[in-house]
Amino acid sequence: MKTIIIKDKKFTELFSEQELKDIVTLCAQKIKRTINDTENLVLIGVLNGGIPFMNDIAFSLPGNITIDYVRAVSYGDNTYSSGKVELLLDTQLDLRGKDVLIVDDIIDTGRTAKFLKNHFISKGAGSVRLCCLFYKKGTLVEEPEYFGSYIGDDFIVGYGLDYAQKGRNLKNILKLSD
């Protein structure tokens, strides 16, 4: 089993690169089966962690989608949420009547997902759906419409997920083993 040290913490492999690719592919297939009108679709990636996943989802959809980004944070450099969501960068698109698909790396506590969903509804989005790579049951939001895999309470890194801004570039998923 692969083990690495990031800053002061030890992480071991949870999903291999191939297992991760399979998870992403299955999630993208679910989206393609249920979203027919991609011309009205706006994918909004949550910086920084959601970008690798959002790119893979976007590449699997037809060419007539719109893409934008937001940056919302609640973790900082910790392995736990601060409990407060801060919107550092908002979309500049007119979302009135659009079908928004928020794409993020993980729904952990659910605070960021709930905050962004309400935010885009307040901006007039016709619909707002959630898509995440990993979903922890028992969060503050209902189960997202699309997700790659359930995840336990492990703190994970890789494929966009980080610990103090490190580990995002890993092609597999590792869990904290300390």
Note the residue count of the chain: 178
Is pLDDT of 154 > 70?
yes
Strands of the 99-107 sheet, one edge to the other: 86-89, 66-73, 41-47, 99-107, 127-135, 146-150
Token pair of 115 as six digits: 């905050």
> Going along the chain, which residue ranges are E strands?
3-6, 9-15, 41-47, 66-73, 86-89, 99-107, 127-135, 146-150, 156-157, 173-176
Is pLDDT of 174 > 70?
yes
Q: What tens digit of pLDDT does each residue of 99-123 get?
A: 999 999 999 888 899 999 999 999 9
Catalytic residue among 99, 105, 108, 162: 108
Q: What tens digit of pLDDT does each residue of 18-58 get?
A: 999 999 999 999 999 998 778 899 999 999 999 999 999 99
The reported pTM is 0.90
Domain extent at residue 28 = 3-176
Percent of the chain, pLDDT > 90?
77
Residue 22 appears among annotated catalytic residues: no
Are the CB atoms for 113 and 144 separated by under 8 Å? yes
Helices (H), 90-176: 111-122
Is pLDDT of 136 > 60?
yes
Q: What is residue 81's three-state secondary structure?
A: coil
Q: What is the CATH number of the domain that holds 24?
A: 3.40.50.2020
Q: How many domains does the structure of the chain reveal?
A: 1
- Using the structure block, give the residue that is written with the tokens 């890789």: 158
Distance between CA 49 and CA 161 in Å, rounded? 5
